[in-house]
Amino acid sequence: MAHTIRYSEYLRNASLIERHISYNLLTPEVSFDANGKVIPYVAPPVTLSTLDVFRLIKTHLQGRFMEQFRVVIPLAAYLILFLIFILNQRVSAPWSMAFGLFGVVVGLMLFMEGLKLGLMPLGETIGNTLPRKSSLPAVLTVAFVLGVGVTFAEPAIGALQTAGQLVSVEAAPYLYTILNHWTGALVLVVGCGVGLAAVLGTLRLIYGWSLKPMIYFTLVPALGLSLYASVHPELRKVLGLAWDCGAVTTGPVTVPLVLSLGIGIATATGKGNATLSGFGIVTLASLFPVISVLGLALYVASSVSAEAIIFAAATGSPATATLAWYESTPGREILLGLRAILPLVLFLYLVMKLILGEKIRHAGMIGYGVVLALAGMCIFNMGLTYGLSRLGSESGSLLPAAFTQIAAVETSPLYFYILGLILALLFAWFLGFGATLAEPALNTLGFTVQNRTQGLFKKSSLMYAVSSGVAFGIALGLARIIFDLPLAWLLLPTYLLAVVLTIFSSEDFVNIAWDSAGVTTGPITVPLVLAMGLGVGDAVHVVEGFGMLSMASIGPIIAVLATGLWIRMKTRLETEVTVAAVNT
């Protein structure tokens, strides 16, 4: 119950405990030397006890750890509970999987902290300094090389490098050889696509170009090559990989580093449009890799025949009993982590020293961040091997047991066909919805959009639109794998629908919608959905299980564009009603 008092009584009681302190008591006493000059005051060093240090580190790490814990563990718990209570299956090697999931949380925590302390400051410094000391071609060259480098540093890129183990060479020879023998070239062409996107995105930020024409001109070759590949008996099996690569690139390394460089360049040149800064590059970085991978597939198809690939795989030398340290866990994961981070850091350092001639400020802190990024990437890779990829693959391989008999489960289907199929699709829908809603980047995007639109497009509306779009996209991608539908049948209509919605949408909503797909493909969602799709495809004997990520990318674009049109129509109707009421 509230207690009321008179204001005079409050002042009397407050004055009783009031104490005036002279400012002179809070400042050191001024001292003079023999010549009468003021001796500058040197503050004593701050000393912390061991307990104080422990409390500071604990508070800092606890927040960073829980940020990743809230994304990974609920998602893993959902998968495990679905396996146990719906599919009536036991999780194999639970302790090993738990160790892997813990490694994912710790590795991602360290990597994100290292990214903020080490790599991001270098990218921002280069972006602010480069335009003042170099010509535009040199600026664009740096942006291109940086785009290539950040692709190798993406945590989820390792999922592509391990996906080839689940592909049958007899069923999909070109897909098999690209994932197993052309892995380096695959990542390189994806990186070149991101580099070209960084160049065009930087030019767009400098000159304030509209995003709409760039989307149209980029979709023409992407959809054209997809249409050509869809009628080729072997290349159509690479189509899902190509469109999934576009989703892999827009992760926690590529987006902030490329954006920081582009925005820094636009700010330094004074030509950037502040209201558009930060939007548009992500879209291009997810579309250009599709063109690059399809181009690589065409080159491979023209260089070697499918029969030669199958023959080489059948007559290849058997694997040795003892693998080299860098070919087995954990050596392989450590080598991948070093290969991902060190070249990128070396490139940023050389740009700073040789091209800009700038001294690296706070070198100790940046070095500490680089060490954290290296350690985090290596630990994350090991967690991916033991935990996340294994959990996704196991969930995907057992999911068809709900509606059909599979080799992994000897018994008959758990439910009759229609009910089991509905349960599987609902599982995929809630997985996509929950995983996207838990993405930290989506919260940040929601705040940004709400502030930019002056509250017209609310944060909650954007978050639910994006999450629903991803959910329907993943469910649609799962249905495609189950029924073995051609991916082109889904890509062409959905992207044409997105283009139609783009034509009728305003520039701001177009920027938001096409970039919203980037926040859905984080380092947790990508390996999990990728492994799940491959597991489902293997269980139902589909040639390839790629394509779920591509549907998860186009889903939120359509959802946000449709939501933006609905908000604009609603606002227009409310305005007309208000004007009519005022006139009457």
Query: Residue 434 burial (CB < 10 Å; 0-12/13-18/19+)?
Result: middle
CB 160 within 8 Å of CB 148: no
Cα gap 394→542, rounded to integer Å: 16
Please indicate, yes or no, if residue 280 is contained in any of the structural domains. yes
CB 148 within 8 Å of CB 199: no
Nearest to 168 by CA among 313, 272, 347, 316: 313
Check residue 547 and give its pLDDT: 86
Return the percentage of the chain with pLDDT > 70, whole number.
87
Check residue 148 and give its pLDDT: 87
The structure tokens 């229609």 sit at 418
Check residue 524 and give its pLDDT: 76
Strand (E) or helix (H) holding 123: helix 120-133
Q: Which two tokens stand for residue 356?
A: 């800009």
The structure tokens 């009536």 sit at 88
Using the predicted structure, report yes or no on whether residue 292 has a pLDDT greater than 90: yes
Beta-carbon contacts of residue 316 (< 8 Å; ≥ 6 apart): none
Strand (E) or helix (H) holding 10: helix 7-16
pLDDT tens-digit profile of 451-509?
767 777 788 888 899 999 999 999 999 999 999 889 999 999 999 999 999 999 988 78
Please indicate, yes or no, if residue 380 is contained in any of the structural domains. no
Which pTM does this prediction carry? Answer: 0.82
Using the predicted structure, report yes or no on whether residue 357 has a pLDDT greater than 70: yes
CB 293 within 8 Å of CB 174: no
Check residue 288 and give its pLDDT: 92
Please indicate, yes or no, if residue 218 is contained in any of the structural domains. yes
Cα gap 442→465, rounded to integer Å: 11
Beta-carbon contacts of residue 8 (< 8 Å; ≥ 6 apart): none
Using the predicted structure, report yes or no on whether residue 260 has a pLDDT greater than 80: no
Cα gap 449→567, rounded to integer Å: 13
Check residue 129 and give its pLDDT: 81
Nearest to 251 by CA among 124, 439, 394, 381: 439
Q: Which two tokens stand for residue 268?
A: 């330094």
Average pLDDT over all residues of the chain: 82
Check residue 428 and give its pLDDT: 92
Please indicate, yes or no, if residue 68 is contained in any of the structural domains. no
Between helix 136-152 and helix 254-269 the angle, nearest 10°, is 170
Return the sign of the alpha-carbon dihedral for residues 520, 522, 524, 530: positive
Q: Which residue has the higher pLDDT, 409 or 216?
A: 216
Mean pLDDT for the stretch of residues 514-531: 77
Using the predicted structure, report yes or no on whether residue 138 has a pLDDT greater than 70: yes
Strand (E) or helix (H) holding 549: helix 548-583
Q: Which two tokens stand for residue 179?
A: 């994932």
Query: Residue 510 burial (CB < 10 Å; 0-12/13-18/19+)?
Result: buried
Three-state SS sequence of 516-546: HHHHCCCCCHHHHHHHHHHHHHHHCCCCCCC
Check residue 275 and give its pLDDT: 47
Using the predicted structure, report yes or no on whether residue 360 has a pLDDT greater than 90: no
Please indicate, yes or no, if residue 360 is contained in any of the structural domains. no
Cα gap 524→529, rounded to integer Å: 9
Cα gap 420→437, rounded to integer Å: 26
Cα gap 183→330, rounded to integer Å: 20
Check residue 468 and give its pLDDT: 93
Query: Residue 168 burial (CB < 10 Å; 0-12/13-18/19+)?
Result: middle
> If you average pLDDT over each of 51-65, 252-266, 398-412, which comes out highest?
51-65
Please indicate, yes or no, if residue 11 is contained in any of the structural domains. no
Please, which pLDDT band fits residue 4 given cuts at 50, 70 and 90? confident
Check residue 11 and give its pLDDT: 66
The structure tokens 């942006």 sit at 143
453 in helix, strand or coil?
coil
The structure tokens 């005022």 sit at 582
Check residue 239 and give its pLDDT: 92
Check residue 269 and give its pLDDT: 63
Cα gap 313→294, rounded to integer Å: 23
Three-state SS sequence of 38-106: ECCCCCCCCCCCHHHHHHHHHHHHHHHHHHHHHHHHHHHHHHHHHHHHHCCCCCCCHHHHHHHHHHHHH
**Domains: count for the chain:** 1
Nearest to 119 by CA among 24, 498, 525, 127: 127
The residue range of the domain holding 279 is 152-313
Q: Which two tokens stand for residue 563?
A: 């939501």
Check residue 502 and give its pLDDT: 94
pLDDT tens-digit profile of 203-221?
887 787 888 999 999 999 9
409 in helix, strand or coil?
strand
Nearest to 82 by CA among 425, 404, 408, 383: 425
CB 355 within 8 Å of CB 130: yes
Please indicate, yes or no, if residue 206 is contained in any of the structural domains. yes
Mean pLDDT for the stretch of residues 429-448: 79
> If you average pLDDT over each of 115-124, 257-266, 333-342, 472-481, which comes out highest?
472-481
> If you average pLDDT over each of 294-303, 412-421, 520-529, which comes out highest?
294-303
Between helix 459-483 and helix 440-452 the angle, nearest 10°, is 130
Please indicate, yes or no, if residue 517 is contained in any of the structural domains. no
Angle at 571 between CA 570 and CA 572, to 5 degrees: 90
**156 Rama sector, left if φ>0, alpha if ψ -120 to 50, beta otherwise:** alpha
